[in-house]
Amino acid sequence: MRLATLVLLASLAAPFPAGAAPVEEPYPQFGLALTVGAPDGAVLSFAYSPWYWIMADVGFAYTLAPGFVVGVEVRPIDFFVSPTLRGEYGYYFAGNTANQVKKWAGVPEDQWPLIGDASYNWFSGMVGIALGSRRGFTASIEGGVGLLQMTVKGGSGIVSGIQVTTADWKFQSLMPVARISFLYFF
């Protein structure tokens, strides 16, 4: 009996095998993000990240009209502070944008019918820094350069007693882009 007790105590006191290590919890793959930026506006997006270092997102955007933003982001370092590299495409549908631009640009109201709905899209590349954990909450700030393409529909109206018709107008320009993003992985 004493021998059995000693063998039992010895087996309980034996250390774990050298190869056994605690199992690391996998990174969550899905998340939600809230972003504010230019030209992004306000964006609520769904994020998918198959590995800790890359993430794709697609979201609903709104400034003066509804739109969408699609992006891919690389975070090469798995640490609380990480650099980011991001590419994105965004599109805003024609909507209230033209009316706001007419007001901001000081276009006289009698000439408003000559300017139709406006829509725009952009491609951008950004670098930034992210703070937080890929296993929970992350905040990031990014900036870079983008290519903006705007299309303004023409219109027709009477200006000073003369019938005037304008053609569609297209504008393209490089511009600075910036965004602040709050992301939660679950």
Give the pLDDT score at 19. Answer: 60
Looking at beta carbons, which pairs linking 9-15 to residues 24 or more positions away fall under 8 Å? none
pLDDT of 22 > 70? The answer is no
Considering only residues 186 and 96, tell me which one the structure prediction assigns the higher pLDDT.
186
- State mean pLDDT over 134-153: 93
Euclidean distance between CA atoms 8 and 10, whole angstroms: 5
Q: Which two tokens stand for residue 129?
A: 């820094």
Which of 153, 160, 49, 180 has the alpha carbon at shortest distance from 99? 153
Domains of the chain: 26-185 (2.40.160.20)
Confidence label for 13 from pLDDT (cuts 50, 70 and 90): low
Euclidean distance between CA atoms 115 and 152, whole angstroms: 7
**pTM score:** 0.77
